[in-house]
A and B are shown apart, each in its own frame.
Chain A
């Protein structure tokens, strides 16, 4: 019944009051079964993860040993991407220079460093030059300097060239086309050589706190929990890693960062972050069409002028005729019938793109959310016991579509701020976990801040009636001439999840069927990402309320998660018992892009980390 659904949503708060009065044993079992019984009458149970269904009152967990093994390090870093690895490397460089001992531990949920990394990418080597001035001798995989830079405005059949004047943010002179996954793998090797302890295959699942509220460290994921939430024979608790300072470099929309924003109120003085989804493929093309070093960007078709987005196509120079290509779609789109994946597939049929791909073979696919907020959305990045680095708080330069150099620099600045404090004889801290506000000060004085400030108005300039064209005019006039010195700061449109219009107000989009040569279906694409997860574990796409998808997302927005998920995780299928639909979550397909957590109009989906080493197996994406 509807009342049941409404009270179910508030079950936790109301019941907990009553529980204190009633006999807690019988009631706590009751809480577990009451919620289940109530929901199965209308909605079959979907979520069994312990973050939603707590284990301390669950009878199946009685008597299970929940003690965790704990270890101490000086600094713990969550996430083995450009930011985390640069921070680790910088810390060890300083430690070796000053002959001080420093234990740096880095945990990464992917099975190997680089396996969850996905980006275009055109790397600006500024931060790398600062980190390793001898990166070439060390064999950093920057093999493709940019030789040509082409920008187009696409219409359905034609292409309007846009001059790539020097000074425009998209200009790539001096940059390198890289396979970021390989670059990150190389960074990992450098870090290990310097003595960083890297543990791939172990996800940080929980933030640990001292009594005084400061961050104590993290705990890795538990293993061996069955799909229904009960412990298996092989169940083992995760491990606790304690540190003086913990760096969170989870990338765009990290799940622990989401918690920290609430815990420490880090977002009270900034706008809510806005995002885009990037889908990418790597193709082996016909040698005759291969032009190593060529960078192509486009805007326009197939997206309409009010949907932010664009495409990229980069010709790599690493022996084989490889191109990396993809489409980025702003997640502030309003039409729930839009499918970023299918926009990507149909974009490849445009004559200007198709001519490069014809006769070629697709060898990789993947997707990831990225930040679009820039300067206006930067939160507070330090708190007692920890700090946020990289794309997690979000230092991406949106018009340049580059975030790697700023992520690396933020990691390096964090390391430089932490090092003196963490190696000082007298820790002199008010809180048990070290607070290092100097990191934020250093950021504000660095080139990251200047860069982000100068491009702060470009993305929001797309929010007018003129959409794309307004944005291009704004960039051409204000950025190219004034370099961001205009005295005003435009605002974004608000939370991405609040932008969807009800389905009945929008027209469904007719997408062409994939032809199997240039465009492909979703499931064969997901197979190419190499993604996999242990099947018998609770789905890590957790729902705060199992009944909301059908009641809200499907009813009002026609289930947009079926379309925005680039891996086919969400499906609305008919109920076995006849009338009605239910949400089926194919958690094994997940490529860890985080789009669902961002775009869900009900904000009911909470992405948590699955068992470590699950997820995509990207190779040089």
Chain B
């Protein structure tokens, strides 16, 4: 019945020193230690906790990227998720991929899997975008509980305590909803060896963004610099944005 989608991202480990490639096209990733984004770990932990408290039946871990992300999905499975989905994107497409495309993928999957909740980390430590959760909610037209430091399920609603600039804000949103996990939501459990061994038997489905009706990311256009605010307003009016 109740199914939760959890997004996990494979990022360069936070303790590793980043090195820019000599041709300045990106950062060196080959052979560099990667791990699950810390906020995604917290998201997985929250989903598994909800399952242990019997509010939900199934937790599905999702990751987008090249073959290596299956390791990250396995860690999520070892922490207690039931099955995984690997949306395969590699090479240049993966480097060009950003929150908008990921959100489209998650929105499509949420509908396909009939999820009641989508739980994501609040941001990834490599790009610090803090956009995927919010965009996913907007695409689905679902309520969002971002920067969650406490999540309580109350019937068909979710009470979320959010960490905001001014302090803590408590909101009550109806399900289905998108939540993003903040640091103090929980302390993630370890993926212990017996669980990793069991996780090898859990299924990871493989698909491409095209299978979900999501196109390739558009090529990024160059920006334009303007001198004054009036110029900016004029340009925005000219291209129809406002």
Contacts and interface: CB of A to CB of B under 8 A. Distances in A.
B33 A617 contact: yes
Given A111-B35, A115-B33, A239 B193 contact: yes
Interface string B166-204: 000000000000000000000111101110110000000
B196 A199 contact: yes
Given A115-B33, A530-B13, A619-B32, A363 B19 contact: yes
A530 B192 CA distance: 23
A202 B188 CA distance: 17
B22 interface: yes
A111 B33 contact: yes
A94 interface: no
A202 B193 contact: yes
Given A185-B31, A284-B22, A620-B31, A530 B16 contact: yes
Contacts of A284: 22
B1 interface: no
B92 interface: no
B15 interface: yes
B17 interface: yes
Interface string A593-621: 00000000000000000000000010110
Contact of A236 (B35, B188, B192): B192
Contacts of A181: 31
A619 B33 contact: yes
Given A114-B31, A185-B31, A617 B16 contact: yes
B37 to A, nearest CB: 15
Of A115, A181, A234, A620, which is in contact with the most chain B CB atoms at under 10 Å from its CB?
Answer: A234
Contacts of B192: 223, 236, 238-239
The B interface, classified by DSSP as helix, strand, loop or mixed, is loop
A71 B194 contact: yes
Interface in A375-390: none
Interface residues of B, number: 21
Contacts of A114: 31
Interface string B3-15: 0000000000111
Contacts of B17: 527-528, 530
The A interface, classified by DSSP as helix, strand, loop or mixed, is mixed
Interface in A200-249: 202, 220, 223-224, 232-234, 236, 238-239
B187 A233 contact: yes
A465 interface: no
Contacts of A363: 19
Of B15, B22, B30, B35, which is in contact with the most chain A CB atoms at under 10 Å from its CB?
Answer: B15
A320 interface: yes
Interface residues of A, number: 32
A238 B193 contact: yes
Of B13, B189, B193, which is in contact with the most chain A CB atoms at under 10 Å from its CB?
Answer: B193
B34 to A, nearest CB: 8
Contacts of A199: 193, 196
Given A111-B33, A112-B33, A236-B190, A71 B197 contact: yes
A320 B22 contact: yes
Contact of B194 (A69, A182, A185, A233): A69
A71 B197 CA distance: 10
A620 B29 CA distance: 12
Contacts of A185: 31
A93 interface: no
Contacts of A107: 193
Contacts of B188: 234
A531 interface: yes
A175 interface: no
A30 B22 CA distance: 61
Given A112-B33, A199-B193, A284-B22, A532 B187 contact: no
A223 B33 contact: no
Contacts of A232: 187
Contacts of B187: 232-234
Interface in A95-116: 107, 111-112, 114-115
Contact of A234 (B19, B32, B190): B190
Given A71-B194, A363-B19, A528-B17, A619 B31 contact: yes
Contacts of B189: 234, 236
A241 B11 CA distance: 31
Contacts of B19: 363
Nearest to A528: B17
A531 B31 contact: no
Contacts of B22: 284, 320
Contact of A617 (B15, B30, B193, B197): B15
Nearest to B45: A234
Given A617-B13, A617-B32, A224 B193 contact: no
Contact of A223 (B30, B32, B190, B196): B190
Contacts of A236: 189-190, 192
A115 B196 CA distance: 20
Contacts of B13: 111, 530, 532, 617
Contacts of A220: 193
Interface string B39-53: 000000000000000
Nearest to A361: B19
Interface string A261-298: 00000000000000000000000100000000000000
Contacts of B193: 107, 199, 202, 220, 238-239
Given A233-B187, A234-B190, A363-B19, A530 B33 contact: yes
A521 to B, nearest CB: 15
B20 to A, nearest CB: 11
Interface in A467-516: none
B35 A532 contact: no
Interface in A515-549: 527-528, 530-532
A528 to B, nearest CB: 6
A523 to B, nearest CB: 13
Of A112, A185, A284, A320, which is in contact with the most chain B CB atoms at under 10 Å from its CB?
Answer: A112
A475 B15 CA distance: 44
Interface string A145-185: 00000000000000000000000000000000000011001
11 contacts: A111-B13, A182-B31, A220-B193, A234-B188, A238-B192, A239-B193, A284-B22, A532-B13, A617-B15, A619-B30, A619-B31
Interface of B: 13-17, 19, 22, 30-33, 35, 187-190, 192-194, 196-197
The 8 closest A-B pairs by CB, nearest first: A532-B15, A617-B33, A619-B31, A530-B16, A223-B190, A69-B194, A239-B193, A202-B193
Given A114-B31, A233-B187, A320-B22, 18 more contacts: A111-B13, A181-B31, A185-B31, A234-B187, A236-B189, A236-B190, A239-B192, A239-B193, A284-B22, A530-B15, A530-B17, A531-B15, A532-B13, A617-B13, A617-B15, A617-B16, A619-B33, A620-B31
